[in-house]
Structure 1
Amino acid sequence: MIYIQHAADLWSAHPGLVAGVVAATGITPDGDTGAAVEEFTSLALARLATGQEAAFPEIQAWRRAFTRMGLRPTQYRCASEALLRRLRKDGELPRIHPLIDLCNAISTAFAIPVAALDVTRVSKGLDVRHAHGDETYHTLSGETEHPVPGEVIFADAAGHAHARRWTNRQSGHSAVRDTTASVLIVAEAMHESAAEDVPRLIGALTSRLSEVFGGTPSTALLTATAPRAEFPV
């Protein structure tokens, strides 16, 4: 089994938080997500045509959360804001891996951060909590860092930090690769309609995963009253 749970003090500090989780298997590097990527990217571009991403309520909610955490929101941006900025400037998103491409496109369409992790690289489960400072974070370029005590991380039982500054940056340790077959995908939001939008995102994602990779992904919706989910590995 693998689990994910958010610490009680995070729910207290961010009562609007809604987290959707998907556990999927059968991931391959040759899955064709191209049509879905184009669909969701087009939705994001259409929305960007009406105004910049910084004004989106989904992004504003994360900016407020980063400010409450003592971070400058224009220095450290949530993953969906960073993707939307890149999409607005370049007109397209980089293609990396069919699953990553799908998650990135859905993230921009909903303006909600989406993280995909290789479950074989996660020890026992993920605790979304404040860092102690002795956890190990591996950058995508291979460097090793330690999170600042108090920042929000995705921590596992082996002391790996799989994300820094909550939704700002993922770790290279559990990044999806061509060898990845099983993943845990997490989408988190705090805006006013998050309780409706996160389930819609999860529904759209699971539908496309089933179409491309087969099987029926498992899902869960985490809230303050149901903060933990477990999935078979």
Structure 2
Amino acid sequence: MDVQHSPRIWSDFPELAAGVLLAEGITADAAPDLDRFTAIAKERLAAGTEADLPEIQAWRRAFSKMGLKPTQYRCAAESLLRRFRKEGSLPRIHPLIDLCNAVSLAYAIPVAVFDRARVAGSMEVRHAYGDETYLTFGGEVERPEPGEVIFADAERRAHARRWSNRQSGHSAVRESTGAVLIVAEAMHGTARADVEALTAALAEELSRTWSARPETSIRSS
């Protein structure tokens, strides 16, 4: 598969479980089933807020361990759930992004989606050296802080900053995207089982909507 986690990541976060999918044949004119996933999210949020969910609590602990204030830098799943709880829906961006956001809501697990053609070589989740480049969605170039957890490719381009906090505009899915790399990561008590369920559900919907046959892999320490 095209993504791996560094030995230090596994050492520092042995509770981590990751699901990886590679899929081709993605188009921007599809209509995935989002309702069944958002219904699950609504049911879970009816009993409290996203901060009460064990999946989110685990990521908050991870952010604290990385020296980040969890309420200032939130994992992507928490940000989505927070917006969904307040607004009742999420904006539509691209069918695949919409699907992955809905799945992320249902499982409270961050799901990163990358345009495979925009990633040089393989991807590694690792600590930054400080010389990597990160392109924001606004077109600005940033350099991650040394030691910050990033998604880095072979050209030392950072495709995500602060691990599951913010993705790069460089490899964002767009209308021309055909092949994608999808990564789901969790650290709570039932992380591996839930990541397996999420990966299976996402693979099923990719097959149904795009007739894709995604390659999948589950990793844990």
TM over 0.5: yes
Matched, 1:127 2:124: yes
Q: Secondary structure at the match of 2:150?
A: strand
Distance in 2 between the 1:45 and 1:91 partners? 9
**Partner residue, 2:212:** 215
**Partner residue, 2:181:** 184
Alignment of structure 1 residues 1-233 onto 2, 5 Å:
3-33=2-32, 36-224=33-221
Letter in 1 for 2:126: R
Letter in 1 for 2:13: H
Letter in 1 for 2:99: L
Pairs aligned (count): 221
Distance in 1 between the 2:139 and 2:82 partners? 25
Distance in 2 between the 1:215 and 1:194 partners? 26
Distance in 1 between the 2:156 and 2:212 partners? 32
Deviates more, 1:38-47 or 1:18-27: 38-47
Letter in 2 for 1:43: I
Per-residue CA deviation, residues 115-150 of structure 1 (Å, 9 max, x unaligned), is 000010000010100001110001111111110110
Distance in 1 between the 2:161 and 2:177 partners? 22
For the Cα contact (< 8 Å) 2:16–2:220, is it kept in 1? yes
Shift of 1:215: 2.7
Q: Secondary structure at the match of 1:61?
A: helix
Letter in 1 for 2:94: H
Distance in 2 between the 1:209 and 1:141 partners? 29
Per-residue CA deviation, residues 55-84 of structure 1 (Å, 9 max, x unaligned), is 100000000000000000000000000000
For the Cα contact (< 8 Å) 2:192–2:220, is it kept in 1? no
Distance in 2 between the 1:30 and 1:39 partners? 20
Unpaired runs of at least 5, structure 2? none
Distance in 2 between the 1:19 and 1:96 partners? 25
Letter in 1 for 2:117: T
Letter in 2 for 1:207: E
Deviates more, 1:105-114 or 1:39-48: 39-48
Shift of 1:103: 0.1
Distance in 1 between the 2:220 and 2:129 partners? 24
Distance in 1 between the 2:90 and 2:197 partners? 22
Deviates more, 1:99-108 or 1:139-148: 139-148
For the Cα contact (< 8 Å) 2:125–2:149, is it kept in 1? yes
Distance in 2 between the 1:190 and 1:42 partners? 23
Deviates more, 1:208-217 or 1:82-91: 208-217
Distance in 2 between the 1:100 and 1:197 partners? 20
Letter in 2 for 1:124: G
Distance in 1 between the 2:2 and 2:26 partners? 19
